[in-house]
Amino acid sequence: VVIEDEKGIRRFLQAGMPSEDFEWNESECGEDGIRKVANVNPDVVLLDLGLPDIDGLTVISRLREWTQVPIIVLTARGRDQDKVAALDAGADDYLTKPFSLAELSARIRVSLRHSKKGAEAQPIYDSGGLLIDFGRRSVAVDGREVRLTPTEYSVLCALAKHPGRVLTHAQLLDAVWGPGNIESTHTIRVHMAGIRQKIESDPSHPRFIRTETGVGYRLMGA
Ligand code: CA
């Protein structure tokens, strides 16, 4: 289901994504979009934040009252606070306009894989040279064991539970220090620097953990 009031974007999606792979349902406003999601039970929702009737953030909260369908938000450039608010409200990811069809299909693939796996626990994360054995609490890069502090390990695990997806600073803080914590994004930055020192061969050009400026972090691969 695409909830987007810009006709140009809806046309772009229709034209670019093969109709044999995707069955589109479109909506120009939030209320109608929510009804469409309820009616067709889609695999993924693409949601514009600026809608003519209700705010996209409201759409996310209303959907999250009853469905875990993946929601990918479409946002205008430079609105970092919008992206953070959307992710914290329960969106799975975002795309900044103008986006390419390649980016869109990559994000849709990650969301679909994530929703299919559901909450099913994976005993091992193994992708692109990074191996995390959750049972042994061990981390290895290119076959070489890496020693992380307990906090660094928790931060890395939080990211590895959602490979390919961005986690906001608030989501990471909640995952590691628990809801209601009083830590700041500075704490995350400090531990992230420690992790990168140990797992990245060139911490200024990270191979595993990408910084999403103003938003949070994303573990690449998987
Ligand atoms: Ca709009």
- Residue among 106, 107, 110 nearest 94 (CA): 107
The encoded tokens of residue 82 equal 């919008």
Query: What distance in angstroms lies between residue 101's CA and the mean position of ligand 1's atoms?
Result: 19
6 conformational bin, left if phi > 0, alpha if psi -120 to 50, beta if neither? beta
How far does CA 152 lie from the centroid of its chain?
A: 20
Q: 110: CA distance to ligand 1 center in Å? A: 24
Q: Which pLDDT does position 77 carry in this prediction?
A: 72
Helix, strand, or coil (residue 47): strand
- What is the DSSP secondary structure assignment for residue 49, as one 8-state letter? S
12 Cα–ligand 1 center, Å = 14
- Give dist(CA 141, CA 63) in Å, integer: 39
Ligand 1 centre to CA of 74 (Å) is 9
**How far away, in angstroms, is 97 Cα from ligand 1 center?**
11
Report whether 59 contacts 47 (CB < 8 A): yes
pLDDT at 117: 58
pLDDT in tens, 127-172: 999 999 988 899 999 999 999 999 999 999 999 988 889 999 999 9
Alpha carbon of 108 to ligand 1 centroid (Å): 20
Q: How far is the CA of 183 from the centre of ligand 1 (A)?
A: 35
Per DSSP, the three-state class of 82 is helix
Q: What is the pLDDT of residue 78?
A: 73
Distance 33 CA to ligand 1 centre (A): 13
Q: For residues 112-131, b (16+ Cβ closer than 10 Å) or e, as one string?
A: eebeeeeeeeeeebeeeebb
Residues with a beta carbon under 5 angstroms from ion ligand 1: 5, 48, 50
